[in-house]
Amino acid sequence: MKAKPISQLRSLPARVAQNLRDKIDSGELKAGALLPGRRSLAEEYEVSVVTVEQAMKELIADGLLRAETGRGTFVSDSVASSRESVVFPSTTADTATAIASPRESHSRRSPLIAPVIGIVCSVDMLRSSPGLLESPAFWIVTALERAIHKLGATAIFRPLGPGDGWPQPFADVGRTLVEAGCDAVVYVEGCSASEAASVQTAFESMRVPCAFIGSEILPAAAYSVCYSNFEAGSMAASHLLQRGHREIMFFSAVADRWVRDRYNGVRDAVSAAGLPADSVRASVLDLEAKFPPPNQTGPDWQEVRAYDAAREWLQCAPLVRAVVADNDRAAYGFMRAAAQLGYNAGEHYAIIGFDDLPPSRVRGLSSIYLPLEAMGREGARLVMAAIEDEAEMARVTLKCNLIARSSTELIGSR
C-alpha cells in the first residue's frame, strides 16, 4: 500500500508512523530489528505515549511491524527491501523531511511534528464592542495565538466577514482549514449551540479535534472554554446585596443573549437572598423598543445610547439606589445622565458594570472582570492536548473576578 505524501498527513500519529515507515523503506530499520520502547519513542518525537501507540498500531496493521508480548515490537521479517519509498514534492522536500524527523534539539519542536491550529472568528465579533481593544474576541484571539506559538505550534487566523462569502457555515470554514493542513481548529465566539453541534459532527467525521472559546456554554462541544454570564450577573448582584441593598435596577442599552444571561443571574442572586422577584427592576426590553441601536461606528455608541435611555428613565421614575449595568459603557452613560440630575455614583447610588475597561479605573466604576486572556491560554492548552490524544472531552468554565471601586461604596438601607 502506497503511503500518502507527508505534506498531506494531518494527525500526529500519522506523522510518526510515516517517519518510521520511511526508516523501514530506507533500510535504517532492518527486518527483525527491535524498536525502542514506546516511552523512548515518545521522547524522541516529543509526542505522547498514546500517539506512539496509535502509530505502532497502524504499522502493525500494515504488516510492517510485529508485536511480541514480553519482548517488544520488531520490524516484520516479511518487509521487502524493494518497498516503494515515499516521494516528496520537490518544492516541499526539505520541509517535509524536517517535519517528519524526530527533534534533534530539545530547544524547540521539529517543524513537522509541530501542529498547525486554525483560528476562526468573525469580523463582526471582533468589532462587536465600541472599539477593537474593547472587543472580548480580540483579547481571546490575541492570547490564544500567543499561547499556541509559545507551546511550539503554528496558528492560522481565518477572519470571517464581507468578501469571504459571509455568512458561511462554520463547519465549512473549519473543513477548509483542515484541508489546508490544520491539525485542529478553534472557534472564537459567534457559534450558537446549533452551529456548534453541526461543527462538532463535521469534525468527528474528519477525526480532527475542534474547540470553542466564548461566552456561551455549548453542550455539544467536546472541547470548550467559556465563562458564565449568568454567574457574572449573580456576582455583580451579590456584591450589592452584601452591601445592604435590597432593590436593584438592571440597566441595559442593548438586547442580546448575554444581556439576558446576566439579568437572569441578577434575579437568581436576589432570589437566593430571600428577596421577592420584584426587587429587581429591568430596563432591557423597554430600552430596545424606545431606543433602537444607532449606527455602531463610533467608539462610544453604547454609552450615548445608554445616556439617552437613562435620562428618560430617571426623569420618569425615582432613582434606585443600586444599579447593575449590562457593561461598563452602559454604566458610563447612566452615570453621566444621573450626574446631570445631581446624583453621583458612590454617594447617592451604587453602580457596577462588566468588562473592567480602562476608563473604569479613572471613573471609579466597580466592574466584573472577564477572564478573556485566560480563556485564550486555556483554549490553546486544551486543543494541544486534544491533538496529542492526551485530553478527554473537556468543558472548562473560568470564573470572573469582581473589581470593587468607589461606585459601590454606598451602603444600602438594611
Report pLDDT digits (tens) over 280-321: 876 644 444 444 454 555 557 788 888 988 998 888 888 889
Cα 195 from Cα 211, distance rounded (Å): 13
**Secondary structure of 307-360 in HEC code, one letter for each residue:** HHHHHHHHHHCCCCCEEEECCHHHHHHHHHHHHHCCCCECCCEEEEEECCCHHH
| CB-CB contact of 122 with 159 (8 Å) | yes
For the beta carbon of residue 263, count every other beta carbon within 10 angstroms: 23
Most confident of 160-169, 232-241, 304-313: 232-241
For the beta carbon of residue 134, count every other beta carbon within 10 angstroms: 19
Give the residue from 290, 222, 229 showing the smallest Cα distance to 259: 229
Residue 360 CA from chain centroid, whole number? 25
Cα 342 from Cα 336, distance rounded (Å): 10
| CB-CB contact of 223 with 210 (8 Å) | yes
| CB-CB contact of 194 with 219 (8 Å) | no
| CB-CB contact of 402 with 340 (8 Å) | no
| CB-CB contact of 210 with 375 (8 Å) | no
Q: Is the dihedral of CA 144, 146, 152, 155 positive or negative?
A: positive
Most confident of 112-121, 296-305, 370-379: 370-379
In the three-class reduction of DSSP (H, G, I as helix; E, B as strand; rest coil), residue 25 is classed as: helix
Q: Which residue has the higher pLDDT, 102 or 388?
A: 388
Single-letter code of the amino acid located at 204? E
Cα 144 from Cα 337, distance rounded (Å): 38
> What is the rounded average pLDDT of the residues 370-399?
87
Grid cell at residue 253? 442599552
Q: Which residue has the higher pLDDT, 336 or 394?
A: 336
DSSP 414: -
Please calculate the CA angle 353-355-360 and round it to the nearest 5 degrees. 65
Instruction: Average the pLDDT over each of 46-60, 83-97, 203-217 and give the range with the smallest value.
Output: 83-97
Give the residue from 324, 231, 326 showing the smallest Cα distance to 280: 324
Grid cell at residue 106? 530539545
What pLDDT shows up at residue 79?
61
Cα 144 from Cα 155, distance rounded (Å): 9
| CB-CB contact of 41 with 52 (8 Å) | yes
Grid cell at residue 234? 449573580
DSSP 278: G
Burial class (CB in 10 A: 0-12, 13-18, 19+), 306: buried
> What is the rounded average pLDDT of the residues 123-133?
57
